[in-house]
Amino acid sequence: MTGRLLLGSFTTLALVIAAAVPAISDAVEVRPVFRSGLEFGGDNLVKVNTTGGSGSKSIDANDGVSVGGGASIVTDSKDIEAEVALSYKFAGIKATNGDIDWTVLPLDALVFYRLPKASASCSA
């Protein structure tokens, strides 16, 4: 994936968030969200036999390094928070007889409800 396409994806995400903010509430707090991660596990996508005595290598569905960003939107009442983030995840296998690259753009949309704080009372 080229940097221009990745930049276009983030720009589109920012415009969608900006358009959705007025629909959520009259007064909201918008903060940037940055993500990075190293993930592993999941179903096997591809298994490759390599030359040179190293046996075989595989890529699983959740394997890879990811970086991304988005926005966290909190309502004025502070009881609902929505988070939208777009990431770029990649993994690969390098070998003398060929290379395999796997990339994906996961879009995460989360909504959180914050429980009201319990008031502390003391009785004597």
Q: Would you place residue 92 in the very low, low, confident or very high pLDDT band (cuts 50, 70, 90)? A: confident
For the ranges 20-24, 73-77, 91-95, the lowest mean pLDDT is seen at 20-24
Q: Is the pTM of this model over 0.75?
A: no
**DSSP string computed for the chain:** --HHHHHHHHHHHHHHHHHHHHHH-SSEEEEEEEEEEEE--SSEEEEEE-SSS--EEEEETT-EEEEEEEEEEEETTSSEEEEEEEEEEEEEEEETTEEEEEEE--EEEEEEEPPPPPPP----
pLDDT (average), residues 71-88 = 89
pLDDT for the residue numbered 36: 93
Single-letter code of the amino acid located at 98:
G
- Average pLDDT for 93-102: 80
Beta bridge partners of 121: none
Q: How confident is the model at residue 29 (pLDDT cuts 50, 70, 90)?
A: confident
The two structure tokens encoding residue 119? 């008031």
**Residue, of 93 and 72, whose pLDDT is higher:** 72
pLDDT confidence of 42, banded at 50, 70, 90?
confident
What is the mean predicted confidence (pLDDT) over 29-44?
A: 88
Cα atoms found within 13 Å of the Cα of residue 7, Cβ hemisphere only: 3
Which residue ranges make up each domain of the chain? 3-113
- Pick the closest to residue 39 from 11, 62, 70 (CA basis): 62
